[in-house]
Structure 1
Amino acid sequence: MLWEWLAAIGWSAGSVAGGIALYRRVRFFSTVWGIITIAVVGLLSGVLHNFLNALFSIDEPFFFLLAIFGIGMTPILVAQWLFEGGFHLYRQWNTHGGTNRMPGMNDQTLYAEVNGIRIAYERGGAGYPLLLIHGYPETRRMWRQVADALTARFDVVSMDLRGYGDSDRPSDELSYDKRTMAEDAYGLATHLGWDKFLVAGHDRGGRTARRLAADHPESVVGATLLDILPLEWVYSQGADGYARRYWHWYFHLQRGLAERLINSDPSAYVNHLFARRGDVLDPENVAHYMEVFARPGSVDATLADYRTAFDVDRPRWTEEVAAGHKITVPLQILWGEYGNLNDEPTLDIWREVAEDVRGEVIPGSGHYIPEEQPEIAIRLINEFADELGL
């Protein structure tokens, strides 16, 4: 009969819509599981149809359709709640051992085998994927305040770069070029099942994020770069102010000498790097950075980061810029009022190497924006996501 066909069509449409809703909202579903979900819900709908038909004598098609829709949507909504809420809570508890240091983020170190090495990371929240990358001489811990708040909107992952934190420290110096480090980040995103994602990087993490945006514009929908200018531009400025501001860049190039001096007292060196703004940084974080920096292989790995930046990244970027290649991914540039960029036409400099640039100075902050002014960083990253329609 006509009403039976209408009921079947209506229920099938509801089943498909529910399945699609599950697939779109439950981000960790693969395409295969999305199809399976739709099939299972459709099968259950047929069982429910027969059950209602046998249980009730409903001759009026309108009321039959109403009953089918009302009762039929219940398992869909319950399933969505279970997968989107209950399973997510289970995943957070199970994956991280049931221990939360911060609401939303976890201090349980997770690992992914990507690009031939092991990368350490933390994960928290649910929503649009957001990758956070730290700077020197820090670790993923620098993002802890910002990451905590952003978990309300994003699926947040903060990673340790190769050579830093709990990630592997390859002995091959040339493996620390930013293209390789960007492939580490991209490999982690792929490992997590992310097709598209936002990235925010500070200092060395910003340079990795820049290369990631340049090499993978199909996946990176937007990049926030904190307190950096283009590497090749900085080196082109010579000693007129920049050798003083970035003195450690040149010191790190002195093979043998830099290793001996830094390894003689790693904590003193880290303290000196933080001296200008150390009074506003969390003492526990600083102690953590010192401990990690003193681990075997840390000094060699981080020096390799800077040396490869000079030997490989600098000429590579110079060649690409000279050839007219510009980053097409939208960039958000943030820099501290008391950092190294505030005397420069920062946005104009970035517009020479990227097509879509916006940004602003962060009042009251020096170089370490996520730790000095976390609330402003949180707000601006959220506004950037709003602008991108995420």
Structure 2
Amino acid sequence: MAIEGFTQSYVRTNGIQLSLHRAGTGPAMILLHGYPQNHHTWEKIAPALLQDFDVIVPDLRGYGDSHAPEGVAAYAKREMALDIIGVMDSLGMERAHILGHDRGARVTYRLALDHPDRVDRLGIIEIVPTGDFWAAWNADLALAAYHWTFLAQSAPLPERMILADGPGYVDWTLSKWTHRGNLGPFSEAALASYRAQGADPVRVAAMCNDYRAGATIDREIDQTSRATGQKIKAPLLFLWASNGFPARTGDPLGCWRDWAEDLTGVELEGTGHFAMEEVPEPVLEAVRAHFLPRRV
């Protein structure tokens, strides 16, 4: 199920096959989705970017129509960033803008840290770095972000519990993380796609492994980056909801200031975690202001 105006194709990269949706002309912009979603999360944003960018929307490994390798290490964000580098190489792209949400944002900042010469500008929506998020946990954040510990439990406990009613679990997760607490922001095509993932044992295992990697490998890599003073060199746009997950950490913009040399922050009102679906116009306004060349 492609985004309107986009064409689906497949690319071999880093030993696996990724599904891509692509359209538009101009500088390359790669959009990376989060959990429990896939390329559909960009369906309200991506078509509006086509007049200015060559827009590439992959399904991350384990999600959508992309391959889902086994094992926790396969979902380390350093490994997933190599998938995107491989996509760029396959498409002949020396550099690209990258915009990521949720798990895709974790791939985005890891790619920018590991491969700074491949990134022009980047955008992060609704996360703080993995190590910082774990360090910020208190009772309130633990209740809100319970899935971080639930999905990271050893297999097959979370898989079995989710698959008892995978589509229902996906619906509950999506609605609970919106500002209004319902499924209104999501199209029927998107919901059908997300529910199908929730009913697929292979996809559910992949999503759990994504979070297992976050609790172990990704956290340790972040700690090393912080200890060595590594910083993101590309201009960084950070978007966060006033009552979303990053906001609960206390000072999300200050957190990114510790990681980025050039930072712009925009706090979004009237949205939950899924800003691209809930308030697409303010997101588009901020994205255009950051990624489009400044006109003199």
Corresponding residue for residue 117 of structure 2: 218
Corresponding residue for residue 82 of structure 1: none
Looking at CA atoms only, which structure, 1 or 2, has the larger radius of gyration? 1
Q: 1:84-121, CA deviations, whole angstroms, 9 ceiling, x for partnerless residues?
A: xxxxxxxxxxxxxxx9962xx32x42100000000001
Corresponding residue for residue 170 of structure 1: 69
Query: Secondary structure of 2:183's partner?
Result: helix
- Output the CA distance in 2 between the equivalents of 1:148 and 1:167: 21
Structure 1: which 5+ runs fail to align?
1-98
Paired residues for 1:85-164 under 5 Å:
102=4, 105-106=5-6, 108-164=7-63
Q: Which has the higher helix share?
A: 1
Conserved? CA contact 1:234–1:242, under 8 Å? no
Conserved? CA contact 2:18–2:67, under 8 Å? yes
Letter in 1 for 2:277: E
Corresponding residue for residue 267 of structure 1: 167
Query: Secondary structure of 2:247's partner?
Result: coil
Query: Secondary structure of 1:274's partner?
Result: helix
Conserved? CA contact 1:214–1:329, under 8 Å? no
Letter in 1 for 2:290: F
Which of 226, 230, 242 in structure 1 is aligned with 2:129? 230
Q: Percent identity?
A: 34
Letter in 2 for 1:267: P
Q: TM-score when scaled to structure 1?
A: 0.71
Query: Secondary structure of 1:186's partner?
Result: helix
Conserved? CA contact 1:342–1:361, under 8 Å? no
- Output the CA distance in 1 between the equivalents of 2:225 and 2:271: 32
Q: 1:23-50, CA deviations, whole angstroms, 9 ceiling, x for partnerless residues?
A: xxxxxxxxxxxxxxxxxxxxxxxxxxxx
Which of 193, 207, 231 in structure 2 is aligned with 1:302? 207
Would you say 1:279 and 2:183 are equivalent positions?
Answer: yes
Would you say 1:352 and 2:288 are equivalent positions?
Answer: no
Letter in 1 for 2:261: E
Q: TM-score when scaled to structure 2?
A: 0.93
Which of 87, 91, 113 in structure 2 is aligned with 1:188? 87
- Output the CA distance in 2 between the equivalents of 1:254 and 1:196: 37
- Output the CA distance in 2 between the equivalents of 1:313 and 1:257: 22
Aligned residue pairs, count: 289
- Output the CA distance in 2 between the equivalents of 1:270 and 1:319: 34
- Output the CA distance in 1 between the equivalents of 2:286 and 2:219: 29
- Structure 1 residue 146: deviation in Å? 0.5
RMSD of aligned residue pairs (Cα, Å): 1.9
Structure 2: which 5+ runs fail to align?
none
The 4+ residue runs of structure 1 with deviation greater than 4 A are none
